[in-house]
Amino acid sequence: MNYTLKIKIADYVFQCIIEDFNLYKILRNKYRAFSDKRRADVVMHFSLKHDNRRYYKLKDDFKKHKIDFNVNSKDMCRIIHNNFYGFENFLSSVIYYWLLHKKVIVLHASGVIRNRKAYVFCGKPGAGKTTIAKLLGSQIMNDNEILIKKRNSKFVAYSSPFKRRGIKPKNINAPLAGIFFLKRRNFKKITKLGKDQAFKHIIINHYIPKFSYQYKNDVENLFKMCIGITGSAPCYELSFKLDKKIWRDINALTKLHNEKEGFSFRNS
Amino acid sequence: MRLQNYIMKKKDLVSGTVENKTFIIDLKKKNVVYELNRAGSFIWGLINDKKSIPDLVDGVKKEFGIGEKKAEADVKQFISTLKKSKLVISK
């Protein structure tokens, strides 16, 4: 028997057809906030290979959606001792790959919404993405991965259901207000980045699914998106000290910058 | 390096230019982004077609208004760096 689950990510609906009820149950509970009933844009069929170990494999249905996706033995996912993360990595890689094809990029970042604008905080592991998201205390989108898509000539940040670390992500989106590249320091400083520096930081913090390297067009899409983002959203390097006054500091520091440069960066 | 050799970009590269700087990704090397400065970006732009070193030297001379020897030395050094990084091939 097959079980069907539909999840909506960045305005696209992904339909997962799963043979294993246990896996379906885990997915349904985990992605409840992202479930949707609309007609699916992509259908993914995960089959269970029956042997002593549990392997999941993506069937060829993906090809029907005009993506040349090669499934080989390496793309199979194995779940050991009910460890769900192996499967989630696999699922997110496939979905992110498809999204990149549709010009949606994924940043290794946390994101919060304040005053209907999305603030995205990028950084290496340990830079303070989760910490800053918790400290800011607003609507937290996701604390590890944020999707960015162009909608009506504006860049919009979407939350991702995957790879959250302790914070339950909400299925929310908002126009991008700014991207902050975090550096943990003992002092507070904000530096507005030039387009070239911002581009470099975005590329470094972008999550490229392994499949994407097979296709030049996808990486070209990624470059175009990154250039577009650097042209429309302000990017800052934020050195910060962890304390509860972080919003006040961000507001004050960005305001100072905007006054200097005549840039309109609306927040309160 | 023979001067008559043609310099060609390797396949499987994606590059983009932002504010006079060029960023290159080699699809076969994951997690590596190459960054070229203004002069490097200019030469990289010239290599779009099949170009020999004297062609590149001429282009650099005109663009930056420098002498033949300096231009040649700079171009050769830059091309050898690109070759080391396996971004170009010479034929």
Total number of domains in chain B: 1
H, E, C per residue of chain A: CCEEEEEEECCEEEEEEECCHHHHHHHHHHCHHHECCCCCCEEEEEEEEECCCEEEEECHHHHHHCCCCCCCHHHCEEECCCCHHHHHHHHHHHHHHHHHHCCEEEEEEEEEEECCEEEEEECCCCCCHHHHHHHHCCEEEECCEEEEEEECCEEEEEECCCCCCCCCCCCCEEEEEEEEEEEECCCCEEEECCHHHHHHHHHHHECCCHHHHHCHHHHHHHHHHHHHHHHHCCEEEEEECCCCCHHHHHHHHHHHHHHHHCCCCCCC
Percent of chain A having pLDDT more than 90?
A: 16
pLDDT in tens, A105-145: 999 999 999 888 899 999 888 888 888 888 776 788 888 89
Q: Domain ranges for chain A, please list them.
A: 3-101, 104-261
The ipTM value here is 0.79
Residue of A nearest to B23 (CA): A200
* Residue A223 sits at the chain B interface (C-beta within 8 Å): yes
- Does residue B75 lie within any of the structural domains? yes
Architecture category of domain A104-261 in CATH: 3-Layer(aba) Sandwich (3.40)
**A230 contacts B25? CB cut-off 8 A:** no
- What range does the domain containing B66 cover? 6-90
Question: At residue A204, does pLDDT exceed 80?
Answer: yes
Q: Please tell me which residue of chain B has the smallest CA distance to A197.
A: B18
Q: Is A190 on the interface with B (CB under 8 A)?
A: no
CA-based nearest residue in chain A for residue B11: A216
pLDDT in tens, B3-37: 567 888 888 888 888 888 899 988 887 778 899 99
The verdict on residue B1 lying in a domain is: no
Q: Does A203 touch chain B (CB under 8 A)?
A: yes
